[in-house]
Structure 1
Amino acid sequence: MAKLLYAFSCSVDGFIAGPGGDMSWLTPHLGPDPVVDELIPDIGALLVGRRTFEGDDPHRGTEAEGKAFGGGWDGPQFVLTRRPAPATPGVTFVGDLAEAVEAAKAAAGEKYVNVLGADVGRQCLEAGLLDEILALPVPVLLGDGVRMFDHPGGTTIALEPLRPNWYRVAGPRLV
């Protein structure tokens, strides 16, 4: 069965987006990455937050704008949202996290469901649904923005290293 993987690029100080969700900081750092190139064929579906789906795109102004992994991946996308959304080919809008995860896993088969968006990643952690995390640090400090994981008051979630920057969520899981 499919596993949920929260894979993301982040600044060294832990931000996946700048203030207001700005992704332009990432644009100069896009390019071939052997880890991403190896991962892409193993992704069967995306589970995406609504803000991420509608948000800023580091590929803005290029042929790859609006395409997952800069156009390197194509497949079913499941967007977690409670707001009505216009029909989009290849995209299913789902209002419930458990239903979205179930649908994405079914679509992914034996491959990964790649989670995109800090809020969806946090929700998956809190629900005990996230299996693995792949953090791709980028050599920049942003100082402010959207953290890859934010839990006011703090919490500790144990991660078991699988390979460099790749971890299994070991627990304890948030309740």
Structure 2
Amino acid sequence: MRKLTYYVACSLDGFIGDPNGDASSMFQFMDEEYASWMNTEFPETVPTAFREAAGLTGVPNKRFDTVIQGMGSYRLGLEAGMPSPYGHLREIVATRSLTESPDPNVELFAGDLAARVRELKAEDGPLDIWLCGGGQVARQLVDEVDELVIKSYPQIYGSGMPLFGAEFAVHDYVLEDVRSFGNGVVVRWYARKR
């Protein structure tokens, strides 16, 4: 069975963006060492518009074939002129506000998102599903997240968009790996404790 991986960047205090969802302050940590690692380990998470500049033209997807994101995350791509920011993946946007897809590769979904993810997990295939963001979508899918890959940036936000915009409930995970970089970024892998 395929798994749902929440692969996400956040501040040290667990925010994936400021109160408006902006995480551009984290871009300063995209140095050569870190970018090279991301392009090698998670090449499909680089937006289509930047793949050529990153040397990823023709590079096959390594981990994911599907991306799920909320309207807040998707809107960032739309506002930047990218109606299909991850055109090399199957794109699903959880939204009730947008009723017509601006791109044929983008599936808009307003129903039971957890049920849709269970359908995706049941599909045959070697690659998994990437939960790109944001916190409200992560809240809806908290019971479906099989793996967390958290890229912690050495910043404190104080407030903003939380990693999981969820009500209090304990969900246990097991630390599987840690990777640190010279720029202060720490990447941690967790598997859901079953």
Tell me the TM-score range normalised by the shorter chain: 0.7 to 0.9
> Hey, what does 2:131 align to over in structure 1?
115
Q: Output the CA distance in 1 between the equivalents of 2:192 and 2:41.
A: 21
CA contact (8 A) 2:138 2:165 kept: no
Mean Cα deviation higher: 107-116 or 141-150: 107-116
CA contact (8 A) 2:69 2:94 kept: yes
Q: TM-score, normalised by structure 1?
A: 0.77
CA contact (8 A) 2:174 2:192 kept: yes
Q: How many residues align?
A: 160
> Hey, what does 1:160 align to over in structure 2?
174
CA contact (8 A) 1:77 1:104 kept: no
CA contact (8 A) 2:77 2:83 kept: no
> Hey, what does 1:21 align to over in structure 2?
21
| Counterpart AA for 1:38 | E
Aligned pair in 2 of structure 1 residues 47, 35: CA closer, same or farther (>3 Å)? same
Q: Output the CA distance in 1 between the equivalents of 2:94 and 2:174.
A: 27
Stretches of structure 2 that go unaligned for 5 or more consecutive residues are: 44-61, 179-187
Aligned pair in 2 of structure 1 residues 92, 66: CA closer, same or farther (>3 Å)? closer
Question: Offset of 1:102 from its aligned partner?
Answer: 4.5
SS in 1 for 2:193: strand
> Hey, what does 1:6 align to over in structure 2?
6
SS in 2 for 1:20: coil
SS in 1 for 2:107: strand
What are the superposed Cα offsets for residues 1-47 of structure 1, whole Å, 9 maximum, x if unpaired? Answer: 32100010111111100121112212212341525631332111101
> Hey, what does 1:46 align to over in structure 2?
67
Question: Offset of 1:112 from its aligned partner?
Answer: 1.6
What are the superposed Cα offsets for residues 106-126 of structure 1, whole Å, 9 maximum, x if unpaired? Answer: 67822120002211111111x
The alignment yields a C-alpha RMSD, in angstroms, of: 2.8
Question: Offset of 1:130 from its aligned partner?
Answer: 1.3
Q: Output the CA distance in 1 between the equivalents of 2:13 and 2:30.
A: 18
Alignment of 1:142-153 (within 5 A): 142-152=157-167
Stretches of structure 1 that go unaligned for 5 or more consecutive residues are: none
Q: Output the CA distance in 1 between the equivalents of 2:39 and 2:122.
A: 23
Q: Output the CA distance in 2 between the equivalents of 1:108 and 1:45.
A: 13
Aligned pair in 2 of structure 1 residues 37, 76: CA closer, same or farther (>3 Å)? same
| Counterpart AA for 2:30 | L
Q: Could you tell me the percent identity over the aligned residues?
A: 25
